[in-house]
Structure 1
Amino acid sequence: MADSLITIQIELTQIILPIIIVLGALGNGLNIFILTKPSFNGHACSLYFLVLSINNFFYSTVLLMFNLLSDGYQISLAGHSRTACKLISYFLNVCPCISVYLIVFASVDRFCGSSFNERQRNFSSVRIARIIIILLVSLLAIFQIGILLTFDLQQLDKLRCAPNTNTIFKQSFIIAQVIIFAIIAPFLMIVFGCLTIYNINHLQISQVVVTGRRIEKQLIKMLLIQIIIHLILTLPFCSLFLMSILPIKVRYTSIFSFLFIIFKLPFYLSFATPFFLYIISARIYRNQLFHSIKNIFHYHCNNRIFTMAH
């Protein structure tokens, strides 16, 4: 049975992960293109989305290739040297952490932006968003240096790149990593998502009309849908990841190993979905995309006519 599960997980990885990589490269590339347009300038939430797309583009196009080779073809580039093991493990951990906390702070921004309290609304600004993003990326990059100390080549069934938890510091770091990513971040998303919904409903009940807030409201809609889909795609893998550090026997079974790899796939998909969620949820995003495609098409047509005329 164990051999059949391994075969299934390898085949699914070989089929599904390349599709996720292509969707991630295409979707995040278009996100970067659209979110730099003037329509989204001046909105703090769109800045979080832009940096999120840049981070997701790197993860989808570069880091997922390592996982495709490792899980799909049993070619572990991280297992060739200690340096490769530590660096690949570092980026595979720091990028998801940056991604999830960009969503958290985007939800905090939407909560502040939808608040009746003027002091809270003042926190929703591009200037503050820039400061938060710089501090967030810097702090997470420094915190994840613990990965360089924790991950190393180990002789298990074969030479593998894996966390070495032979000291209290390394054990504590792995536990802190799981708590920060799999518990605190989803909790904050849910809390600020619910508070934002409360603010919106309270705003509608009071019939307060704020001019120039159309884009802000669509950004809220984009964010709330993204939070819901993100939690659906990532929580199963986060739950297994949490179980993997607990002293329970089930984590040594072939079924657990199978589910751990399979639930990685929707986790990976979470890095490719934002573009498609934005298209579905926000009219201004759709309009900007179609307008940009139209301009590119007209440019190529006019350029071709000009070339033929000369």
Structure 2
Amino acid sequence: MIVLPRPALRSNSCVLLFLCSSFASLIAIISGLTTRLSAGWAIDLSETIGWLCKIRILVLFVLRTMFVWLLVFAAIDRWLSASIHNHRRNLSTLKNARRSIIIVTLFSLVLNGPLLYCYEANLIGTPAKCFGYSTECRLYTDLSFTIGIIVIPSLLMTLFGFLTINNIHQLKKRVNTRNSSITNPNMSINLHVQQQKKRTNRSLFKMLCVQVLFLILCSAPYVIYRLYITFASTTSSKSELQKAIEGLLFNLCTNLTYLSTAMPFYIYTLFGGTMFRNELLHVAKSTYRKCRCL
């Protein structure tokens, strides 16, 4: 969030989507993990206060939805920017990126709005005290999370990922053809600038692919466990050992979902190419100089 607004990056529409996605993931981590940690010390107020339980769940799921769907629009933006057709490339703009953010925000609120009704505090016999109070509510939560946040976004990101790869191959062929026919020095300079932009686009696409992979791997166990809990028999018919195992699995799978939202910085640093690392180094040097002047 400190590096992405840099002047060298902020004019890119995909970077704006990455920035908003990172902001959503940060708040999701704060709203989710702080209560997970406080629950371990039995001081989580959302487990006993109904309205606080509802608000926390709504904020958490809305931000998770925004985090994922902003990546979907980032994948679409990469496909547009890598297209060989001018009218498609012209759609990859900051204005359209801002429109995408508004659409994602409204969609996230509509999708997760019913959670205000479904979640209650002080529940007994559930993996957490702040949980869906009925089978219907739990089923809606599971299906909305599975289909609306995991399955459909993953399919769309995979689809546009392959389409982007196809566009990149087509662009490479065109660049090779132009290189063999260049005689004007000005044309050579323009081609060099275009190639730099394409390297930036490839770095952004690589970052996106790795982030999608982490999202699927970290979310799949949680989806499977939630569906199992919804359709399994009631807790009263289970032994204490089985309850303990299910409680452990719930904590592991839930905490694993936060891993995908906490990984963007490492993904950008390792897979963002020299573009992101140079900007990160510049920010570090600038901060160091300011600290020395104090």
Shorter-chain-normalised TM-score: which range?
A: 0.7 to 0.9
One of 242, 258, 276 as aligned partner of 2:248: 258
2:66 and 2:105 in contact (8 A); partners too: yes
Q: Specify the alignment match of 2:76 in structure 1.
A: 108
1:258 is displaced (CA, Å) by 2.5
| Percent identity (aligned) | 25
Provide the residue aligned with 1:156 in structure 2. 124
- Residue 284 of structure 1 is matched in structure 2 by 275
Q: Which residue of 1 aligns with 2:51?
A: 83
Q: Report what 1:204 is aligned to.
A: 172
SS of structure 2 residue aligned to 1:35: coil
Kindly report which structure 2 residues correspond to 1:100-179, keeping only aligned pairs within 5 A, or say none. Answer: 100-157=68-125, 160-165=129-134, 171-172=139-140, 174-179=142-147
Superposition pairs of residues 173-188 of structure 1, within 5 angstroms: 174-188=142-156
Q: Distance in 2 between matches of 1:61 and 1:45?
A: 24
Distance in 2, matches of 1:289 and 1:144, equals 35
Q: Which amino acid aligns with 2:218?
A: L
1:163 CA displacement = 0.7
The alignment status of 1:225 with 2:194, answered yes or no, reads no
Displacement of 1:205 in angstroms is 4.1
Deviation for aligned residue 1:146: 0.7
Residue 67 (str. 1) matches residue 36 (str. 2): yes
RMSD: 2.6
Paired residue type of 1:289: L
Give the Cα separation in 2 of the matches to 1:237 and 1:201: 36
Amino acid at match of 1:272: A
CA distance in 1, matches of 2:257, 2:135: 28
- Please give the per-residue CA displacement for 1:210-247, whole angstroms capped at 9, x wherever unaligned: 444132222112212222222222222223233333x2
- Bigger relative contact order, structure 1 or 2 (CA pairs below 8 A, ≥6 apart): 1
Range that drifts further, 87-96 or 61-70: 61-70
Where 2:129 maps in the other structure, the secondary structure is strand
1:115 partner SS: coil
Q: Deviation of residue 204 (structure 1)?
A: 2.7
One-letter amino acid of the counterpart of residue 291, structure 1 = H
Is the CA contact 1:63–1:91 (under 8 Å) kept in the aligned structure 2? no
Moved more, 120-129 or 61-70: 61-70
Q: Shift in Å at residue 93 of structure 1?
A: 1.4
Task: Identify which range, 36-45 or 204-213, moves more after superposition.
Answer: 204-213
2:288 alignment partner in structure 1: 297
**1:90 Cα deviation from its structure 2 partner:** 1.0
The amino acid of 2:25's aligned partner reads: N
Secondary structure of 2:121's counterpart equals strand
Quick check: 2:29–2:262 contact (8 Å CA) kept in 1?
yes
Alpha-carbon distance between aligned partners in 2 of 1:130 and 1:256, rounded to the nearest angstrom: 42
- Cα gap change, 1:232 to 1:125, in 2 (>3 Å): same
Distance 1:157 1:249, change over 3 A: closer
Query: Which 4+ residue blocks in structure 1 deviate beyond 4 angstroms?
Result: 169-174, 249-253
Q: CA deviation at 1:249?
A: 4.3
Deviation (angstroms), 1:156: 1.7
Q: Which residue of 1 aligns with 2:220?
A: 235
Contact 2:13–2:94, Cα closer than 8 Å, also in 1: yes
**Stretch of structure 1 that moved more, 153-162 or 282-291:** 153-162
